[in-house]
């Protein structure tokens, strides 16, 4: 036991959790913590907006698989984190958010910059805590990291009233965690595995859907081993991109509203569907009532509440994806007579060929540019995206080969996520190129953190697919609202080249695919963040598209 | 607002600390599950409270309720109580205007029949305490209506499984 302040206890506890970096912005209610940070070896990256601090910690977590940490002061600092926390919650990303609050005696009195951030974040965190005294800080930090990173990962918030930061007490750094109500169930039940095996052995047209859980649990190898053994093609969700190399013959690409034609045609034909680490979101199932109606469904997820929520599986398996996939594999390898499944494989080949013929990629169109871009990127380059058409084009045309290299706001669809997330990813993985594929509307939402990227030497490449409109909204108005364009024209778009330069970053505008590729090559070598402005037509639609509420094989292609 | 379906009694052991009731009731609101009644109080175990919720719905909804409750970190254990093997009780306090002495004696008579107690007597009113299952309380209230029923306070259902079957934390 050592005598120290709560603030010191906090930083010590974070160090014991091997925290290397905090993304944050200081303020009155966290001054004691920043005073300790002044001579701590934990790096604090000063962001320009707390939302970006939260997204950067999220990007850091997704790229590295470790817990990301962000910090803000009370009141507006804390509420600015909210979008980032909600985003991390929807996409099961492990972050710990630290907020200051008014001193204990002022809580509940509507003191200056007091917000009930624990109340606000209750439905968007796995759990949250308000510190009652300095003594409990270390235990709560340990608990927060444990909860954030185990089971189905997610955000945890710790709110520290200012006087708990200055209170001096005997601090113990015991690693004990007492959580009577939290026992993440990770071992698959052998009986359920048996049932799954039975279905898979009999399957003639098996299909696997892989979600983000496969990446979280580190199961891509187990997934591929099982898929190859079964000769089962794999479709991924948006969050599952990276769980299987998309150049593998068994990969179907992404499923769902903007899924590939192949995935959306093949998945409904399955007789046995193995869904792993996915929650059957409406964006991936289309009309849920009829989704894979005739298939026997096996659903593996670590979150029991997801199993049976949107789809009722025939075989529910509440378990860690890696352990469950391995258990199925180990059980199958003993008895399974490998079958070439030539009929099923031919069907898939034919579908893929049809898709390739329909894809028309040339000129200054995002599909063409992104396919060309992928050719010059190393396989481990990290892509983040904003939200809208840019995101769906990226998901469709930037093939992903490795886990944790495609980072996108899936569940919340947060415009402005991609750029700060790219900064977090670059901090986590300084040796690989990191690129944010952006829309002009999204980039403007968090572009101020160019200042952070330049000040802290975090060089990333921002590719702005600049269509001068809120493209995805325009697409829906074009397709479903009779071209009654309402509030989608971004009017006077800033000059992104000058904007970048104003921040001390580099800006380039490109007019042809060749110039685009040249600019990206230059940007990836550059020591400073580069914004590439790519003017494109405002009339383009993302296809394929399944209209909202329709069955996923009701694909519109133009 | 009532849903189609039958009534289920969900019994949960939760951490007895501030904020837990908020996170539980917030979950019900957020997921669109309607709480019919909710009671909470100390349990046999230190620092743990027992929360009893009744909800109307189908089996699938109740399964989600249980899973979503279990997902909350401060919820330690959840079980659905089978009505056949469960004792349920509710308490009601009923205030009746008794300006008329005939009414007063009628009310006292009914209270005896229902094994209730008169717990407050004023010159113009009585307060009756009545305990039992919800049907019994409903019946008593119906009977009191013609007499000039002034106020009712009901606790909501609390419940325990019969015999040694328990919803304790193991
Ligand atoms: C924070 C936020 N606000 C609003 C939306 C609704 N929305 C979805 S896509 C979109 C347009 C995105 O425009 P842009 O970033 O220019 O990308 P594009 O679709 O043109 O590629 C909007 C407004 C959102 N997803 N997030």
Full DSSP string of A371-439? HHHHHHS-TT-EEEE-SSHHHHHHHHHS---STTSEE---SS--TT-HHHHHHHHHHH-TTS-EEEEEE
Could you identify the atom of ligand 1 that is nearest to the CA of residue A440? Answer: 16
Residue B91 class from Cβ within 10 Å (0-12 exposed, 13-18 middle, 19+ buried)? Answer: middle
Q: How far is CA A523 from CA A90, A188, A397, A424, A463, in A?
A: 32, 46, 21, 18, 10
Q: Give B123 Cα–ligand 1 centroid separation in angstroms.
A: 69
- The answer to whether A343 faces chain B, any CB pair under 8 Å, is no
Mutate to test the interface with A, among B17, B32, B68, B71 (most CBs of A within 10 A): B71
Instruction: Find out whether A477 and A488 touch, Cβ atoms under 8 Å.
Output: yes
Q: Summarize chain B as % helix, strand, coil (round to 5).
A: 35, 40, 25
Sketch out chain A's domains with CATH numbers: 2-171 (3.40.50.970), 190-357 (3.40.50.1220), 366-539 (3.40.50.970)
* Residue B1 banded pLDDT, cuts 50, 70, 90: very low
Q: Return residue ranges of chain B for CATH 3.30.70.260.
A: 6-81
Question: Which of A442, A444, A494, A537 for mutating ligand 1's site (highest number of atoms within 8 Å of CB)?
Answer: A442
Question: Which of A388, A437, A533 for mutating ligand 1's site (highest number of atoms within 8 Å of CB)?
Answer: A388
Helix axes A418-428, A50-64, angle to 10 degrees: 50
Core vs surface per residue A237-262: b (16+ CB within 10 A) or e: bbbbbbbbbbeeebbbbbbbbbbbbb
Query: In 10 A of CB A76, how many CB atoms?
Result: 13
Residue ranges of chain A with per-residue pLDDT less than 70: 175, 360
Task: Name the least confident of A209-213, B49-53, B166-170.
Answer: B166-170
- Give the ranges where chain B is alpha helix by DSSP (H): 20-31, 59-71, 101-113, 134-148
Report the DSSP beta bridge partners of residue A509.
A533
Contacts of B60 in chain A (CB under 8 A): 308, 312
Which protein residue's CA is at the shortest distance from atom 17 of ligand 1? Answer: A439
At residue A296, the 3 state secondary structure works out as: strand
Instruction: Find out whether B82 and B28 touch, Cβ atoms under 8 Å.
Output: no
Report the DSSP beta bridge partners of residue A444.
none
Of B41, B44, B168, which is closest to residue A180 (Cα–Cα)? B168
pLDDT (tens digit, 9 = 90+) per residue, B104-158? 999 999 999 999 999 999 999 999 999 999 999 999 999 999 998 999 999 999 9
Q: Is A221 a catalytic residue?
A: no
Of A127, A180, A304, the CB nearest to B67: A304
Of the candidates A43, A112, A172, A514, the residue annotated as catalytic is: A112
Query: What CATH number labels B6-81?
Result: 3.30.70.260
Question: Which of A415, A485, A545 for mutating ligand 1's site (highest number of atoms within 8 Å of CB)?
Answer: A415
Contact state of A308 with B60 under an 8 Å Cβ cutoff:
yes
Instruction: Find out whether B54 and B37 touch, Cβ atoms under 8 Å.
Output: yes
Contact state of A304 with B169 under an 8 Å Cβ cutoff:
no
Residue A107 class from Cβ within 10 Å (0-12 exposed, 13-18 middle, 19+ buried)? Answer: middle
Q: How far, in Å, CA of A392 to CA of A259, rounded?
A: 9
Q: Which pLDDT does position B101 carry in this prediction?
A: 85
Q: How far, in Å, CA of A542 to CA of A552, rounded?
A: 16
- C-alpha gyration radius of chain A: 24
Q: Is the dihedral of CA A284, A289, A290, A294 positive or negative?
A: positive
Contact state of A309 with B64 under an 8 Å Cβ cutoff:
yes
ipTM computed for the complex: 0.91
CB hemisphere CA count around A59 (13 angstroms):
32
Contacts of A179 in chain B (CB under 8 A): 73
Is A441 close to ligand 1, i.e. is its CB under 6 Å away?
Answer: yes
- C-alpha gyration radius of chain B: 19
Residue B132 backbone zone (phi > 0: left; psi -120 to 50: alpha; other: beta): left
Q: Is the dihedral of CA A255, A260, A261, A263 positive or negative?
A: negative
Q: How far, in Å, CA of A96 to CA of A58, rounded?
A: 9
Helix axes A220-230, A321-335, angle to 10 degrees: 30
Instruction: Find out whether B57 and B5 touch, Cβ atoms under 8 Å.
Output: yes
Is A449 close to ligand 1, i.e. is its CB under 6 Å away?
Answer: no
Q: Give A415 Cα–ligand 1 centroid separation in angstroms.
A: 6
Q: Checking DSSP bridges between strand A406-407 and strand A382-385, what pairing results, if any?
A: parallel
Could you identify the atom of ligand 1 that is nearest to the CA of residue A467? Answer: 20
Q: How far, in Å, CA of A516 to CA of A524, rounded?
A: 12
Is A390 close to ligand 1, i.e. is its CB under 6 Å away?
Answer: yes
CATH architecture of B87-158: 2-Layer Sandwich (3.30)
Core vs surface per residue B42-71: b (16+ CB within 10 A) or e: ebeeeebbbbbbbbbbeeebbbbbbbbbbb
Residue B113 class from Cβ within 10 Å (0-12 exposed, 13-18 middle, 19+ buried)? Answer: exposed
Of the candidates A139, A162, A241, A352, the residue annotated as catalytic is: A162
Question: Considering chain A, what percentage of its residues have pLDDT values greater than 70?
Answer: 100
Of the candidates A113, A135, A136, A287, the residue annotated as catalytic is: A113
Q: How far, in Å, CA of A151 to CA of A358, rounded?
A: 42
Mutate to test the interface with A, among B27, B51, B58, B73 (most CBs of A within 10 A): B73
* Residue B4 banded pLDDT, cuts 50, 70, 90: low
Q: Return residue ranges of chain B for CATH 3.30.70.1150.
A: 87-158
Q: How far, in Å, CA of A424 to CA of A229, rounded?
A: 37
Is A391 close to ligand 1, i.e. is its CB under 6 Å away?
Answer: no
The CA distance from B9 to the nearest CA of chain A, in Å, is: 19
Of A119, A122, A305, the CB nearest to B71: A305
Q: C-alpha A261: how far from its chain's center?
A: 23
Could you identify the atom of ligand 1 that is nearest to the CA of residue A413? Answer: 25
Could you identify the atom of ligand 1 that is nearest to the CA of residue A391? Answer: 21
Of B23, B63, B74, the CB nearest to A308: B63
The CA distance from A230 to the nearest CA of chain B, in Å, is: 32
Of B164, B119, B122, B112, which is closest to residue B143 (Cα–Cα)? B112
* Residue B166 banded pLDDT, cuts 50, 70, 90: low
Of A95, A89, A92, which is closest to residue A56 (Cα–Cα)? A95
Q: Which pLDDT does position B167 carry in this prediction?
A: 52
Instruction: Find out whether A30 and A76 touch, Cβ atoms under 8 Å.
Output: no
Contact state of A308 with B64 under an 8 Å Cβ cutoff:
yes
Of A260, A253, A355, which is closest to residue A545 (Cα–Cα)? A260
Instruction: Find out whether A325 and A300 touch, Cβ atoms under 8 Å.
Output: yes
Q: Considering only residues 36 to 75 of chain B, which have any Cβ-Cβ distance to chain A shorter than 8 Å?
A: 48, 60, 63-64, 67-68, 70-75
Contacts of B71 in chain A (CB under 8 A): 303-305
Q: How far, in Å, CA of A87 to CA of A91, rounded?
A: 6
């Amino acid at each position: 036991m050592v005598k120290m302040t709560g603030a010191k206890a906090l930083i010590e506890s974070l160090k014991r959790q091997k925290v290397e970096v905090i993304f944050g912005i200081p303020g009155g209610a966290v001054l004691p913590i920043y005073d300790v940070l002044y001579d701590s070896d934990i790096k604090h990256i000063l962001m320009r907006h707390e939302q970006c601090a939260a997204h950067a910690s999220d990007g850091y977590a997704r790229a590295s698989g470790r817990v990301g940490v962000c910090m803000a002061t009370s009141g507006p600092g804390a509420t600015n984190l909210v979008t980032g926390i909600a985003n991390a919650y929807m996409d099961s990303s492990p972050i710990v958010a630290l907020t200051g609050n008014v001193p204990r005696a002022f809580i509940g009195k509507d003191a200056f910059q007091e917000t009930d951030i624990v109340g606000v974040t209750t439905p968007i965190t796995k759990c949250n805590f308000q510190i009652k005294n300095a003594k409990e800080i270390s235990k709560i930090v340990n608990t927060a990291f444990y909860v954030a990173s185990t089971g189905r990962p997610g955000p945890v918030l710790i709110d520290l009233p200012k006087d708990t930061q200055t209170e001096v007490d005997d601090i113990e750094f015991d690693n004990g965690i007492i959580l009577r109500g939290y026992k993440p169930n990770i071992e698959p039940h052998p009986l359920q595995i048996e049932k799954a095996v039975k279905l898979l052995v009999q399957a003639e047209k098996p299909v696997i859907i892989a979600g983000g859980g496969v990446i979280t649990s580190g199961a891509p190898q187990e997934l591929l081993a099982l898929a190859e053994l079964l000769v089962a093609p794999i479709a991924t969700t948006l969050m599952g991109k990276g769980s299987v190399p998309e150049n593998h013959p068994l990969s179907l690409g992404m499923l769902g509203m903007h899924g590939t034609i192949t995935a959306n045609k093949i998945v409904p034909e399955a007789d046995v569907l193995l869904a792993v680490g996915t929650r059957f979101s409406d964006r991936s199932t289309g009309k849920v009532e009829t989704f894979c109606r005739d298939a026997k469904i096996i659903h593996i997820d670590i979150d029991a509440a997801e199993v049976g929520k949107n789809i009722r599986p025939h075989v529910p398996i509440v378990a860690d994806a890696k352990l469950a996939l391995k258990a199925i594999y180990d059980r199958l390898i003993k008895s399974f007579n490998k079958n070439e499944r030539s009929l099923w494989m031919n069907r898939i080949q034919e579908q893929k060929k049809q898709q390739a013929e329909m894809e028309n990629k040339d000129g200054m169109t995002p599909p063409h540019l992104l396919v060309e871009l992928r050719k010059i990127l190393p396989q481990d380059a990290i892509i983040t995206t904003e939200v809208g058409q840019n995101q769906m084009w990226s998901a469709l045309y930037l093939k992903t080969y490795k886990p944790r290299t495609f980072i996108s706001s899936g569940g919340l669809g947060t415009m402005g996520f991609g750029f700060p997330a790219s900064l977090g990813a670059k901090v986590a993985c300084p040796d690989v190129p990191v690129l944010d594929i952006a829309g002009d509307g999204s980039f403007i939402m968090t572009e101020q953190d160019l200042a952070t990227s330049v000040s802290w030497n975090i060089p990333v490449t921002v590719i702005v697919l600049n269509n001068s409109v809120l493209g995805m909204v325009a697409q829906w108005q074009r397709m479903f609202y009779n071209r009654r364009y309402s509030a989608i024209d971004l009017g006077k778009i800033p000059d992104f080249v000058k904007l970048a330069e104003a921040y001390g970053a580099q800006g380039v505008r490109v007019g042809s695919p060749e110039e685009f590729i040249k600019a990206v090559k230059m940007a990836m070598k550059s020591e400073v963040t580069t914004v590439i402005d790519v003017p494109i037509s405002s009339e383009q639609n993302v296809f394929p598209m399944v209209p909202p509420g329709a069955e996923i094989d009701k694909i519109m292609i133009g | 607002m009532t849903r189609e379906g039958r009534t289920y009694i969900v019994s949960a052991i939760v951490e007895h600390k501030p904020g837990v009731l908020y996170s539980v009731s917030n979950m019900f609101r957020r997921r669109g599950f309607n709480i019919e009644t909710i009671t909470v109080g100390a349990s046999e175990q230190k620092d743990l409270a027992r929360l009893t919720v009744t909800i109307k719905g189908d089996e699938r909804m109740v399964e989600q309720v249980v899973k979503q409750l279990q997902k909350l970190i401060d919820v330690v254990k959840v079980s659905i109580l089978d009505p056949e093997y469960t004792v349920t009780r509710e308490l009601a306090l009923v205030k009746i205007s008794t300006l008329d002495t005939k009414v007063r004696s009628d009310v006292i008579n009914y209270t005896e029949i229902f094994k209730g107690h008169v717990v407050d007597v004023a010159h113009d009113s009585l307060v009756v305490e009545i305990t039992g299952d919800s049907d019994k309380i409903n019946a008593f209230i119906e009977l009191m209506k013609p007499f000039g029923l002034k106020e009712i306070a009901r606790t909501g259902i609390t419940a325990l499984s019969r015999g040694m079957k328990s919803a304790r934390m193991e």
